[in-house]
Amino acid sequence: MRAGEYQELLVELPLFEAADGSGGSARGASTSSEPTFVSASAISAAAPSDKLPFRMSSPLLDTSSPDALTLGKLLGIRTLNMAQLLMQVTTSSSVKIYIAHLIPSRLRLVIATANCIGHFTVN
């Protein structure tokens, strides 16, 4: 096998733990405390190091393990910061899964995050 073939194989194996709150995994809310493992081909990106403040419909790589993060980078998985994650949520079709009464709380989170980052000013 050539190096590229090994990489293709690794991309398809369920080696990565999905971040809690992403891809339908919610260990705190479910009856099972078992982590969810997914392949690199099923992961859109790596989660920020901060705990996810809301549930994501697509799985994100759990970045609590430096080894998983390193392997993910080698396989082309990019790590999102919190601002990029918020942008992904607000621009993706997964927005449709959020209940209308939860949207104001999400917007407050966006504004609070933006104020912490210092890129935006709320008047």
Residue found under tokens 């999400």? 106
Q: Can you give the pTM of this predicted structure? A: 0.62
89 CB neighbour count, 10 Å cutoff: 19
Asked whether residue 97 is assigned to any structural domain, the reply reads yes
Domain count along the chain:
1
Cβ neighbors of 117 (< 8 A, separation 6 or more) are: 83
The model's pLDDT over 6-48, given as tens digits with 9 standing for 90+, comes to 889 999 999 999 988 887 555 544 445 678 899 999 887 898 8
Asked whether residue 123 is assigned to any structural domain, the reply reads no
Q: How far apart, in Å, are the Cα atoms of 21 and each of 2, 47, 92, 96, 110?
A: 36, 10, 17, 17, 18
The model's pLDDT over 52-88, given as tens digits with 9 standing for 90+, comes to 777 777 888 998 888 988 999 999 999 988 888 877 7
Asked whether residue 122 is assigned to any structural domain, the reply reads no
Instruction: Quote the domain boundaries for residue 39.
Output: 3-117
